[in-house]
Amino acid sequence: MPREPMPGGTPTAKPATESGRKPALRPVRWQPPRSPARARARRSRTPLPPVRRFPLGGRGPEDVRIDARGQVLTGVEDGRVLALDPADGRVRTLADTGGRPLGLCPLPDGDLLVCDAERGLLRLNPGSGRVETVLREAGGRPLGVCSNAVAAPDGAWYLTDATARFPLRHWMGDLLEHSGTGRLIRCEPGGTAEVVLDGLQFANGVALAADGSFLVVAETGSYRLTRLWLTGPRAGRSEVFIDNLPGFPDNLSTGPTGLIWVALAGPREPLLDLLHRTPPALRRAVWSLPSALLPGPRPTAWVIALDAAGRLVHDLQRPGTGYRTVTSAVEHGEHLYLGSLVEPSVGAVRLEPAGRVSAGSSPWPCGTPRR
């Protein structure tokens, strides 16, 4: 695949698709599962500890990752990719993609994969600030909203393309429409790309199992996580990893002990579930309303962690008065670092052993074959 260099720190012109007009909605009728009781609870059995903020000078650190030096990496809505030193709170700009950086994936050679919602999959050299375009299309279709990426042990990269129908600023349209145009793509560095899963409902976060045997993809629009086996007799097969989540799953990460951390951007929205059960014309009418009137995530800070069998290990939540709309969580040392679509800072909480719940008490079914 050709790579197109962009000078580090120099923003390029954004695509000429910045009209405020919403794409037309083509609703697909769907019967969402009845939301679990946990979706209606405002607090978890173990509250999320108080959140310490690290100001960034930019808004919307949608994804957070940790590099080999222990720095927190993130991208903000003005296009910059940043490195935060949690020891002293200093923030450095690594590059400006000229788009909207979302998911990040540090590579073994020190480079950084950047999923840019407007520019596709990028590769960033933190030392020079050089940004190269790695992938703009797959399967004969341009990337719509390049969301997240992970590097597999065999050297391949897996990335999610959230939707072919809506730009990032109109992401709620994809959830209302429920047409399922999200994809999981396998990319060989310097080689070809192939679509390995399609028909996903707003494909979002992706995380690799600690042993590399499978990866998990968040389908935000269906309140579920889907597993794709990479090795063993089931390699290439997919199934539901956990279904009927109590909130909207966003970015995923794998912790040092193998736990899969799931950021829930907000609890289930009863009005959205109701709209899916009504005639499509009603959803089109709702979509025509000003964006501020559309149903969206209620302010909360919520993360859960699952083991490799899909069982609940952590369930941490607090009202979103101190930090809200958590879209990513990554474990490092004794802390959990948080990202948000709306906050101007990275959050951090200290993990305590008391934050654990019984590993065998998951309130949600898991492991049901997907197809």
pLDDT, residue 292, reads 81
What does the pLDDT look like over 312-366, one tens digit per residue? 999 999 887 889 999 999 999 999 999 999 999 999 999 876 444 333 344 444 4
- Tell me what percent of the residues of the chain surpass a pLDDT of 70: 89
pTM of the model: 0.91
pLDDT at 115 over 90: yes
pLDDT at 10 over 60: no
Distance from C-alpha of 286 to C-alpha of 275, rounded to nearest angstrom: 9
pLDDT at 370 over 90: no
pLDDT, residue 17, reads 39
pLDDT at 64 over 50: yes
pLDDT band of 196, cuts 50, 70, 90: very high
pLDDT at 2 over 60: no
Instruction: Spell out the alpha helix ranges (H) of 54-196.
Output: 171-177
pLDDT, residue 353, reads 63
176 backbone dihedrals φ, ψ, rounded to 5°: -70, -40
pLDDT, residue 296, reads 74
173 backbone dihedrals φ, ψ, rounded to 5°: -60, -35
pLDDT, residue 227, reads 98
pLDDT, residue 6, reads 38
Task: Give me the domains of the chain, ranges plus CATH numbers.
Answer: 50-353 (2.120.10.30)
pLDDT at 174 over 90: yes
Distance from C-alpha of 142 to C-alpha of 201, rounded to nearest angstrom: 17
Question: What are the structure tokens assigned to 218, written together?
Answer: 């968040």
pLDDT, residue 322, reads 85
pLDDT, residue 254, reads 98
How confident is the model over 283-311, as a mean pLDDT?
A: 90
Distance from C-alpha of 306 to C-alpha of 202, rounded to nearest angstrom: 21
pLDDT band of 153, cuts 50, 70, 90: very high
Mean pLDDT of the chain: 89
Helix (H, G, I), strand (E, B) or coil at 285: helix
Distance from C-alpha of 99 to C-alpha of 51, rounded to nearest angstrom: 29
Q: Of 253 and 321, which is predicted with more confidence?
A: 253
Give the single-character DSSP code of 147: E
Most confident stretch, 20-29, 170-179, 318-327: 170-179
How confident is the model over 3-28, as a mean pLDDT?
A: 56
Give yes or no for a contact between 161 and 145, defined as CB atoms under 8 angstroms apart.
Answer: yes
What does the pLDDT look like over 35-48, one tens digit per residue? 998 888 777 768 99
